[in-house]
Structure 1
């Protein structure tokens, strides 16, 4: 769907003289990626509204997405699978935020420290779609490390201020990335073994 729409839009841009024919593939790919990201974000927002957890979802996304970009991890092989896995991830998060008793949220720092420790040892996790050379690994590791410390500090300050719900959301952003990174490592090992 997005492929045909982006192709149609880039052809129109060529016809109107806005871009040149040699730039077709770059613009087509960029438009397709943009449309997919908008679709993902719109779906997340609708899920947040449906579960009445929009603000919580936005806080999670603000912490999780930058960390995910630099820490890496599992990547689905098709856009549809990526969309489905992403939506299921958001649904599971919203369910956890709804179902977790407030007494359990008091212990969010245990989850945050455990997830941070795991992440420090394994990031960045490259995938078949995004292999990294040594300089990129160093760069991504330093960015991911900064974000881990930043999110962990935010969770700790929130906990010290007795904002346990916020601390729990930040801890979950670290925990979800840790799971995705571990799955990405395991998927990468199985690809290398074949």
Structure 2
């Protein structure tokens, strides 16, 4: 559906041009904007349904800002991508609700798990894709940005726990954990592709 809307809007935008060379560029740009808006709307709706709107947004932004530079697994189709995002958001919000009621010992265990995920992210990022290969210079820059962002999120999430903002802290931790998970999935995907060659 988003693809169809993108195509129609791109046709309208290219109608007044003498050359339609920019059609594919417009279509792709509109598709990305609509997909992002649809994902954000889903995050907001799920946050409202679970009565965890702030936590839902904090998780999503923590995840997206790391993924932007670290990379990670990409589903083969937009529908699979959406379903994966939808399911993971529901799981994360259930986890945040659960974390708000557990004792401090489990919180320390969860923070240690987050630290392990931080180390994993720092070790294997950035991972590029066939559609978006990174140059050596880009990899260095992305690795540095990923390191700064991930460590910063780890520090802020830990401080949130100790300052009494447990839900916000656990949402950020979940963003780090999800980033590590999609990176690991992408690494396995790359290894499998090399084995098949």
SS at match of 1:22: coil
Q: C-alpha deviations, 1:81-113, integer Å up to 9, x for none?
A: 111111111111011112333313354321221
What residue number does 2:129 align with? 127
47-56 vs 103-112, which deviates more? 103-112
Hey, what's the Cα distance between the residues in 1 that align with 2:2 and 2:171? 32
Asked if 1:61 corresponds to 2:63, the answer is: no
Q: How does 1:87-102 map to 2 (within 5 A)?
A: 87-100=86-99, 101-102=101-102
- Maintained 8 Å contact 2:43/2:57: no
Show structure 1 runs of 4+ deviating over 4 A: none
What residue number does 1:136 align with? 138
5+ residue gaps, structure 2, are: none
TM-score w.r.t. length of structure 1: 0.91
Q: C-alpha deviations, 1:12-69, integer Å up to 9, x for none?
A: 122244x851111111110111111111111121111111111101111221111011
Asked if 1:182 corresponds to 2:181, the answer is: no
Number of aligned residue pairs: 193
RMSD: 1.7
TM-score w.r.t. length of structure 2: 0.90
5+ residue gaps, structure 1, are: none
Asked if 1:153 corresponds to 2:173, the answer is: no
Q: C-alpha deviations, 1:140-174, integer Å up to 9, x for none?
A: 10110110111011023223324333322222211
Q: C-alpha deviations, 1:168-191, integer Å up to 9, x for none?
A: 222221111111111110011111
Hey, what's the Cα distance between the residues in 2 that align with 1:165 and 1:41? 20
What residue number does 2:49 align with? 50
